[in-house]
Structure 1
Amino acid sequence: MIHTGEHASTPGGLSVSVVAYWPDPQQLARTLATLAQAIAELRSEAPMPVAVYLVDNGGLPDVSGSVANLERQGATCAVIAGQGNVGYGRGHNLAIDRAAGAFHLVLNPDIDLDPKALTEALAFFGAHPDAGLLAPLIGDDHDGIQYLCRRYPTVFDLFARGFLPARLRGLFARRLARYEMRDLINERDVVWDPPIISGCFMIFRTAVLKRLNGFDERYFLYFEDYDLSLRAHELARVVYVPAVHVQHHGGGAARKGYAHIRMFSASAFKFFGRFGWKWL
């Protein structure tokens, strides 16, 4: 049963928020199916309560089958709707405000989870009490790695990576590789304290996330994960854990049209205004 806007309690457990704005129905169904599988795997080893919040920023398709599947795995589900398109960060904050478990996962609707992803993440947290925010190994559609951990960007890095055609971007491959931490990120090694991690899959100790007051709602879309990552370092350690594996099907702002380029630019201006401008 879907409880629109109600509180789904997870004392001592895990909560998950997924913000959807006119998502691809088939991809969203895959995301929720792999999430259900990962929840089943997790609860088979540690039967904790799990709550899933689906935040409808607009265009949420019929998810009754996905919700029934999640509930069969022992999760409680709530759809948060009626707020309109309030933006990515603010949408997640609607769920974070309700989160009551020990851990909270911020999840994109274009992510497929490995069955062991949640089990590995919570096991790592259990073994490392100083870890407050965890990033996974993020695979692409071609069995490669998406290098979504970042060093602090310059304006040129963002422009070159996001907007230059591939033939010109290759001229700056070395520079961009450093920005993307390709010297450290791989399929084997845990990396402590990457400055910035991707918002497509961020799993927090909820206490840390609450102290940070969640996402900064001044960002409508883009850079809210950069902002939250940098602030998280003030309270706890951030860590990349390749044993936690997911697959990401998302694309860059430049490939999504002018509106996304405009939002990307506006958020970049807010980000650098807060944390400091680096041009070259």
Structure 2
Amino acid sequence: MDLSISVVIYRPNVAQLERTLDTLRDSWAAFQRKGRNVGASVFLVDNGGAPDMTSMIAAFKEVDTPCVVIAGHGNVGYGAGHNLALARSNGTYHLILNPDVELNPDALDKALTFLDSEPRYGLLTPYVCDENGEQQFLCRRFPTVFDLLVRGFLPERLRALFNGRLSHYEMRDLVNQRDTVINPPIVSGCFMLFRTDVLRRVGGFDERYFLYFEDYDLSVRTHDVSDVVYLPTVRIIHHGGGASRKGWLHVRLFVASMVRFFNRFGWKWL
């Protein structure tokens, strides 16, 4: 059993990137201490604006883990960046990880141990909370256009009028801190632990998505070849924010990717 990990970087918050890599290294070190005969490799994919990562790379030598920077390709998009790392991976498992995530010390141990004992699952998604400890409901049912626009762009006081509807979309009736959920329709790209052969069978990310909805697309296609599991004992912190809070460029990218997603999988308006 071997693990490869890809992190796509574009003009990152340096302190947060350091924290992501520190917690990744610590979680891997905790897994190694269990005496498993397992290797890992880390790929940092520089889509532009990466800082000097010399010290970050060197820190992985402490846990006998090669850390490689893939650069020079320009800003090819989130999914295409991860595909560059996937092309270099030959491990049993491949972890797609955001640069704004922190892993619990036992996250990799619990995730890899579970997948190694449950071969039916090709993709694992964890329990996610924000920096204040509030759960983020990132498992989703298949969306409607209305759900996405309400959740993404309405002011909070107006969004509250649709709390029941959004709770259903976000699977709040099933996703919690205790219960394993089998085959949530859509899971978040901030942490996707795949069996590498499953990820290759679906062709990795669809590179026609530059940003947003590439994880929705990949989730739907993964169900065609494998079961997916939400495992709440695997825990991470996610510092991400919505498109509407990042400016008009992100709004345009969100809408363009949403249209591509519905064109591919069918439009649901209401």
Normalised TM-score (structure 1): 0.95
Alignment partner of 2:71 out of 81, 84, 92 = 81
Instruction: Tell me what 2:83 maps to.
Output: 93
Provide structure 2 residue ranges, at least 5 long, that are not aligned to the other structure.
none
Q: What's the CA shift for 1:151?
A: 0.1
Instruction: Tell me what 2:190 maps to.
Output: 200
Specify the code of the residue in structure 1 equivalent to 2:81: G
Q: How well do the aligned residues superpose, as a CA RMSD in angstroms?
A: 0.6
Instruction: Tell me what 2:181 maps to.
Output: 191
Identity of aligned residues (%): 58
**1:159 equivalenced with 2:128 (yes/no):** no
Instruction: Tell me what 1:18 maps to.
Output: 7
Instruction: Tell me what 1:29 maps to.
Output: 18
Q: What's the CA shift for 1:47?
A: 3.5
**1:233 equivalenced with 2:223 (yes/no):** yes
Instruction: Tell me what 1:105 maps to.
Output: 95
CA distance in structure 1 between the aligned counterparts of 2:93 and 2:79, rounded to whole angstroms: 18
SS at match of 2:46: strand
Provide structure 1 residue ranges, at least 5 long, that are not aligned to the other structure.
1-11
The total of aligned residue pairs comes to 269
Superimposed CA distance per residue, residues 157-176 of structure 1 (whole angstroms, 9 cap, x where no aligned partner): 00000000000000000000
Normalised TM-score (structure 2): 0.99
Superimposed CA distance per residue, residues 144-190 of structure 1 (whole angstroms, 9 cap, x where no aligned partner): 11000000000000000000000000000000000000000101000
4+ residue stretches of structure 1 with deviation over 4 A?
A: none
Instruction: Tell me what 2:121 maps to.
Output: 131
Superimposed CA distance per residue, residues 92-128 of structure 1 (whole angstroms, 9 cap, x where no aligned partner): 0000111110000000000000011111001110221
Specify the code of the residue in structure 2 equivalent to 1:26: A
Alignment of 1:33-44 (within 5 A): 33-44=22-33
CA distance in structure 2 between the aligned counterparts of 1:61 and 1:162, rounded to whole angstroms: 30
Instruction: Tell me what 1:6 maps to.
Output: none
Instruction: Tell me what 2:165 maps to.
Output: 175
Instruction: Tell me what 1:249 maps to.
Output: 239
Instruction: Tell me what 1:114 maps to.
Output: 104
SS at match of 1:119: helix
SS at match of 2:211: coil
